[in-house]
Amino acid sequence: MTKSILLVGVGGQGTILASKILTNGLMEAGYDVKMSEIHGMSQRGGSVSSQVRYGEKVMSPVIEKGKADIVVSFEKMEALRALDYLKKDGTLVVNNEEIPSMSVITGEETYADDILEEIQKHVNAKVVDATRLAAELGNEKAANIILLGTIIKAMGLEHIHWDSILEANIKPQFLELNKKALKVGMDAVA
Amino acid sequence: MKKLMTGDEAIARGAYEAGVSYASAYPGTPSTEILENLSAYQEIYAEWAPNEKVAMESAIGASVAGLRSMVSMKHVGMNVAADPMFTWAYMGVNGGNVIVTADEPGMFSSQNEQDNRNYAKSAKIAMLEPSDSQECIDMVKAAYELGEKFDTPFIIRMTTRVCHSKSIVELKDRTEIAPKTWEKNPAKYVCLPAIARKLRVNLQERLKKLAEFTETCSFNRMEMGDTSIGVIASGICYYYAKEVFGENASYLKLGMTNPLPANMIRNFCSKVDKVYILEENDPYIEEFVKQQGCACIGKDLFPSYGELTPDVIRACVTGKAEETIEFDKTKLINRAPTFCAGCPHRGLFYRLGKRKDIMISGDIGCYTLAAGKPYNAMDSTVCMGASISIGHGAQRAFNAIGNGRRVVTVLGDSTFFHTGVNSLINTVYNKSNTVNIILDNRITGMTGHQENPGTGYTAKGEETTLIKIEDLVRAIGVKHVYVVNPNHLDEVDEALDRCLALDEPSVIITRWPCVLKKFSKEDKAEFDKLFSTKNKVDPEKCIGCKLCLKAGCPAMSYNKDTKKVSIHRAQCVGCDVCTQVCKKGAIVKED
């Protein structure tokens, strides 16, 4: 059975690296893997998403609405936006981070205070303070690997040799930090 | 060895394994990474051309001279390259030649949708359509073998989801190909009418041979399952179809789609009860199937625009969409892309948008975002390089109408080299009086930082002659040329004032690097304190008027509780635009 993982966030949050590590780990574990990303103008502060699918034989690289087994959002508003994609009994992990968009900065729109509440009305979301937890580890930028850890735990992928996948994809000076971050993420949804 | 690769990476890998030695391209989403990856192979000479026509012609030259060559472009790039391509089809290859087009159903990063399969048919060039990354490798390699055998260039038609999706590929070694001999042969390579008329006949003969070949081509195959439904699909739609229908259908997967296999199609249609044609954009396959006298369901059921993703197919076939979690959509905020903190376009458009009674003729690049709020500083955008020539026509019209309206044209450095330079020649030659702004951010920005003729470096990272835009426009005959720092708003205003007062063409070059660029040693030498300072808000002086927010910087935000603006320190790069917008002197440099 093909599993579908959707990572969403805001350009610059590190979704691409997280999905790269994830897909390489899945391939090493012997799964067929496909991933789809949209590049281009969305890099400039827009919404971004990486769609990862794995199983014995994957057909479409694109996840259908209502069919993601897990959605991991690096930002609150993007979690709400992606709810369309989550299966009714799927898992939602939300990083408790608020990034205003330009329409909010210029005052055209308001970022509602109750986004998490709106999400919780529909889904029992796991809210993770990944940005704060990463800062405690010494670098906010490791939030993406903490969130990757939540996917690994939630999808039961702990048996894959993630340390060696991290070694192949992360600069040596950040390796220890990211190994710790992965563990923190796995514990956060335990 | 197994590896996860995007379709773009796999096209480059296929070219490497096929012994390709020459590649050229102009960047354009979603095709850019093809040449970026080609240039990383030592064995391949790869270059950025100023536009797709030049890239196509260089690749033709390399093929004629005896090497296997590749040229890649986004869908609209093929419009630019079409002129040489149509005649190249008459001539046939020496070394094999593959033309990659990356189409964009759904327009993620493009100004239009166009189905370039029509080009293959119209230009009479053989075409392959890969469905995943392994097929990208296999088809590129086959295209060189077949192209040299049938004496034809090959088009490989990709779409965004093939270009930018990753799937597993098997890597093989490169096969070195001995260069073909070049001999004088005007009967093949000089398209004079007398010669072209003969070549046209040959082309028809070649198409007949290809039409025979496509019936047995291994990229076209039937996969028979339940025969109540038969699906004919090419490219990514083949996998979308399999996702939706699974084993409950039979498939005719088409990999070679010009020429299409008429017998195979008729045979397939005769074996199944109902035929769906799944293809994005135009009814390219559908029209052919109908010509064969086969009944099928295509664009009368499926949309002819946007992506034909599995949920779209499912909704069309079943008449209902997948159930999703309902939520309060009014709480969603819009998150469109914006200029980065420190973007050198900000200062210019902040000021330009405030000018009254001008028409701003824009172009293709990150700066097209200036059309939106808070700048409202773009009135038209059509295609690469069009800003200057559309502006010229509009200015001539306004002058004739006599309403006194002035036209300002805006385009980037790479876009200027692409085709803007031709338009500026027209403006000068035809005695216009437009104000033409060239946003020289020292790199090709939107596609992810490719070198161009103005940067002083090649695709391979070698130093080369740097073409100075100010020297070029003066050589064209522009007498009024101003080079300004767009982060200095008074410089922007002064240059605009001077140029708008002129009755002659003028050029303003806004010169400051893209904040995301990997700065060259020349950048570091030229630009003082390049993004190395921080600004902060003095809460004593800030009155919460929010004027600074109208500059549209993502590093700034307003705090409802304190009623003050603050600057996100990690994002700020000290461009100083906000310090000039604030009337209270509340935004200052950090010590």
3-state secondary structure string across chain A: CCEEEEEEEECCCCHHHHHHHHHHHHHHCCCEEEEEECCHHHHCCCEEEEEEEEECCCCCCCCCCCCEEEEEECCHHHHHHHHHHEEEEEEEEEECCCCCCHHHHCCCCCCCCCHHHHHHHHCCCEEECHHHHHHHHCCHHHHHHHHHHHHHHHCCCCCCCHHHHHHHHCCHHHHHHHHHHHHHHHHHCC
Can you give the pLDDT of all 591 residues of chain B as single tens digits?
999 999 999 999 999 999 999 999 999 999 999 999 999 999 999 999 999 999 999 999 999 999 999 999 999 999 999 999 999 999 999 999 999 999 999 998 899 999 999 999 999 999 999 999 999 999 999 999 999 999 999 999 999 999 999 999 999 999 999 999 999 999 999 999 999 999 999 999 999 999 999 999 999 999 999 999 999 999 999 999 999 999 899 999 999 999 999 999 999 999 999 999 999 999 999 999 999 999 999 999 999 999 999 999 999 999 988 889 999 999 999 998 899 999 999 999 999 999 999 999 999 999 999 999 999 999 999 999 999 999 999 999 999 999 999 999 999 999 999 999 999 999 999 999 999 999 999 999 999 999 999 999 999 999 999 999 999 999 999 999 999 999 999 999 999 999 999 999 999 999 999 999 999 999 999 998 899 999 999 999 999 999 999 999 999 999 989 999 999 998 999 999 999 999 999 999 998
pLDDT for the residue A31: 98
Distance separating alpha carbons of residues B361 and B359, to the nearest angstrom: 6
Contact B333 A39 (CB under 8 A): no
Nearest to B583 by CA among B557, B553, B550: B550
Mutate to test the interface with B, among A36, A60, A76, A122 (most CBs of B within 10 A): A60
Residue type, B451: E
B566: contact with A, CB 8 A cutoff: no
CATH number of B345-526: 3.40.50.970
B173, B15 contact by CB (below 8 A): no
A118-155 pLDDT tens trace: 999 999 999 999 999 999 999 999 999 999 999 999 99
Is the CB of A64 less than 8 angstroms away from the CB of B326? no
Whether residue B338 lies within 8 A of chain A, CB to CB, comes out as yes
CA distances from B117 to B109, B112, B124, B282, B440 (A): 20, 15, 11, 9, 35
Determine, for residues A122 and B558 on separate chains, whether the beta-carbon distance falls below 8 Å: no
Q: How many CB atoms lie within 10 A of CB B590?
A: 11
CA of B532 vs chain A CAs: smallest distance (Å): 20
- CATH tag, A3-188: 3.40.920.10
**Chain B residue at shortest CA distance from A40:** B109
**Which pLDDT does position B125 carry in this prediction?**
98
Q: How many Å apart are CA B435 and CA B505, to the nearest integer? A: 6
Number of residues in chain B: 591
Q: Which residue has the tokens 């109902």?
A: B274
Q: Is B585 on the interface with A (CB under 8 A)?
A: no
Residue B66 neighbours by CB under 8 Å, 6+ apart: B94, B95, B179, B180, B181, B182
* Distance (Å) from the alpha carbon of A49 to chain B's nearest alpha carbon: 12
Provide the chain A residues 56-75 that lie in CB contact (below 8 A) with chain B.
58-62, 64-67
Contacts of B554 in chain A (CB under 8 A): 45, 102, 105
Domain ranges of chain A: 3-188
The radius of gyration of chain B from alpha carbons, rounded to an integer in Å, stands at 27
3-state secondary structure A116-165: HHHHHHHCCCEEECHHHHHHHHCCHHHHHHHHHHHHHHHCCCCCCCHHHH
Assign B288 to helix, strand or coil.
helix
Length reported for chain A:
190
The B residues from 340 to 399 touching A (CB cutoff 8 Å) are 340, 366, 369, 373-374
Q: Do B335 and A59 touch (CB under 8 A)?
A: no
- CB within 8 Å: B338 and A102: yes
Answer whether A38 sits within 8 Å of B168, measured CB to CB: no
Using a CB-CB cut-off of 8 Å, the residues of chain A touching B514 are none
pLDDT band of A41, cuts 50, 70, 90: low
With CB atoms and an 8 Å threshold, state whether B2 touches A27. Answer: yes
Kindly state whether A135 is in contact with chain B, defined as any CB-CB distance less than 8 angstroms: no
Query: Is A27 close to B324, i.e. CB distance below 8 A?
Result: no
CA distances from B3 to B55, B201, B397 (A): 29, 45, 57
CA distance A186 to chain B (A): 25
Percent of chain A with pLDDT over 90: 88
CA dist., res. A52 & res. A35, Å (int): 4
Å from B270 to nearest chain A CA? 26
Tokens of B414: 């790479």
Q: Which two tokens stand for residue A137?
A: 């580890």
Domain B221-318 has CATH 3.40.720.10: no
Which ranges in chain B are annotated with CATH 3.40.50.970? 2-213, 345-526
Binary contact (A40, B446; C-beta < 8 A): yes
Instruction: Assess contact for B24 and B55: CB atoms under 8 A.
Output: yes
What is the topology classification, in CATH, of domain B2-213? Rossmann fold (3.40.50)
Contacts of A41 in chain B (CB under 8 A): 29, 108-109, 337, 366, 369, 446
Q: Which of helix, strand or coil describes residue B209? A: helix
Nearest 10 degrees: Cα torsion B315, B316, B320, B325: 20
- pLDDT of residue A90 exceeding 60, the answer is yes
Size of interface A-B (CB pairs under 8 A): 180
Q: Is B36 helix (H, G, I), strand (E, B) or coil?
A: helix
Cα→Cα distances A122→A8, A47, A89, A155, B70, Å? 18, 22, 10, 21, 51
Q: Do B337 and A81 touch (CB under 8 A)?
A: no
Q: A101 near B334, Cβ under 8 Å?
A: yes
Please list the alpha-helical segments (H only) found in B402-483: 413-415, 421-429, 469-476
Per the omega criterion (within 30 degrees of 0), is the bond before B261 cis? no
Average pLDDT over residues A41-68: 90
Nearest CA in chain B to A19: B166
Q: How far apart are CA B268 and CA B315, in angstroms?
A: 25
Q: Pick the residue from chain B with its C-alpha nearest to A116.
A: B331
| A10 interfacial to chain B (CB closer than 8 Å) | yes
pLDDT, residue B487, reads 97
* DSSP secondary structure letter of residue B129: -
Tell whether A27 lies on the interface with B, counting CB pairs under 8 A.
yes
Answer whether B109 sits within 8 Å of A39, measured CB to CB: yes
Residues of chain B with CATH 3.30.70.20: 535-589
- In this prediction, residue A40 carries a pLDDT of 53
Cβ-Cβ contacts under 8 Å, B248 against chain A: none
Residue ranges of alpha helices (H) inside B151-283 are 160-163, 186-189, 193-214, 236-245, 262-271
Top CATH class, B535-589? alpha beta
H or E stretch at B567: strand B564-567
DSSP bridge pairs for B4: B168
Q: Which amino acid is at A137?
A: L
The helix (run of H) or strand (run of E) holding residue B154 is: strand B154-159
* DSSP letters for B470-500: HHHHHHHT--EEEEE-TT-HHHHHHHHHHHH
Instruction: Collapse the DSSP code of B176 into the 3-class scheme (helix H, G, I; strand E, B; otherwise coil) and give the result.
Output: coil
Could A102 and B554 be called an inter-chain contact, meaning their C-beta atoms sit closer than 8 Å?
Answer: yes
**Cβ contact, residue pair B167, A34, below 8 Å:** yes
Q: What pLDDT, on a 0 to 100 scale, did the predictor assign at position A182?
A: 97
Model confidence, pTM: 0.97
CA distance A55 to B351: 54
CB-based contact, A42 to chain B, within 8 Å? yes
